[in-house]
């Protein structure tokens, strides 16, 4: 069995107080690309971000057409808005539960850490925990805030590993609004690109999305395009992180296919845009990977 994973911040409904703008055209365009991507990549698990509860009906209809289950996880915790939905393949994953993860700071500010979802791998009955996150943006928060959020997420991950052992199957995916080398991701969440360290230090997370920082050519890659960036315009904000069990776990564990990491490419090596419609409409780009059973 294999599971093709995708994460995309579609940018339609940022987690701020409601805007009155008509979003019909944007929703239809996002649905067009979600359908195309799902079919082209045979997506089994699609995490979608910046989508509000009043748009759920549009995307539920799309999920039905794609023969995927739809899980609307949008909601509020106090003044914090959760803006995430999931489409998933019910023949491979059984949904068990979800919980909003937030952290209240000493100054009474509530931070949006993510949504913890738990699924059962139908082939083995093993549990798979997926944390979906949309961390505070560069415009609304400091790097220190994202570091605090990362610590809170790490505490949740550590608790699962302490309770269930280092073969716990945990994936974090999201728009972290910070790069893979940031203090938040590397020092607070304890996510590394060093495959060999993880074999020895099983509580570390593996972050394979460092590879999107450079293509050794003209570097028109990344997951977020900030048109007016002063030095760089491309950033790697969207990432998927994996517990060590996806590399070194027991026989029942799902494995990460290292060759499957990819992103939605719209720039050619010689700087030409391959999809103007997408480029003008979305500033985040879908990311992909595959997990599978060896047998």
| Contact partners, residue 121, CB within 8 Å, separation at least 6 | 92, 93, 127, 128, 169, 254
Q: What percentage of the chain reaches a pLDDT higher than 90?
A: 62
What token pair was written down for 163? 């309770």
What token pair was written down for 293? 């059973």
Question: What pLDDT is stored for residue 275 in this prediction?
Answer: 85
Domain range list for the chain: 2-292
Q: What is the Cα–Cα distance from 4 to 212, expressed in whole angstroms?
A: 19
- Break the chain down into helix, strand, coil percent, rounded to 5: 25, 35, 40
Question: What pLDDT is stored for residue 283 in this prediction?
Answer: 87
Q: Report the mean per-residue pLDDT for the chain.
A: 89
| Contact partners, residue 124, CB within 8 Å, separation at least 6 | 252, 293
226-269 pLDDT per residue, tens: 777 667 777 788 999 999 999 999 999 999 999 999 888 877 77
CATH topology classification for 2-292 = Deoxyribonuclease I; Chain A (3.60.10)
CA atoms within 13 A on the CB side of 52: 16
Mean pLDDT of 52-73: 87
Question: What pLDDT is stored for residue 18 in this prediction?
Answer: 56
79-111 pLDDT per residue, tens: 888 999 999 999 999 999 999 999 998 888 889
């Amino acid at each position: 069995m294999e599971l093709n994973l995708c994460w995309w911040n579609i940018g339609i409904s940022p987690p701020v107080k409601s805007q009155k703008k008509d979003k019909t055209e944007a929703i239809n365009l996002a649905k067009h690309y979600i359908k195309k991507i799902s079919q082209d990549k045979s997506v089994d698990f699609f995490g979608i971000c910046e989508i509000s509860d009043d748009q759920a009906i549009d995307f539920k209809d799309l999920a039905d057409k794609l023969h995927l289950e739809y899980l609307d996880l949008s909601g509020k915790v106090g003044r914090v808005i959760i803006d995430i939905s999931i489409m998933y393949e019910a023949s491979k994953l059984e949904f068990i539960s979800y919980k909003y993860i937030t952290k209240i700071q000493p100054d009474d500010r509530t931070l949006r850490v993510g949504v913890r979802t738990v699924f059962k791998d139908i082939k083995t009955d093993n549990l798979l925990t997926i944390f979906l996150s949309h961390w505070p943006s560069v415009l609304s928060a400091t790097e220190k805030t994202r570091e605090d959020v990362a610590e809170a997420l790490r505490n949740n991950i550590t608790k699962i590993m302490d309770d269930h052992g280092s073969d716990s199957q945990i994936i974090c995916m999201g728009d972290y609004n910070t790069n893979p080398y940031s203090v938040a991701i590397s020092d607070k969440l304890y996510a590394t690109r060093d495959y060999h360290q993880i074999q020895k230090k099983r509580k570390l997370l593996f972050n394979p999305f460092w590879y999107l920082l450079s293509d050794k050519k003209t570097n028109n890659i990344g997951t977020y395009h900030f048109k007016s960036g002063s030095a760089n315009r491309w950033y790697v904000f969207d990432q998927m992180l994996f517990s060590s069990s996806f590399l070194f776990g027991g026989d029942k564990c799902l494995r990460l296919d290292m060759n499957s990491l990819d992103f939605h490419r719209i720039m050619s090596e010689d700087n030409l845009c391959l999809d103007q419609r997408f480029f003008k409409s979305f500033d985040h780009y879908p990311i992909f990977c595959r997990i599978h059973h060896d047998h």
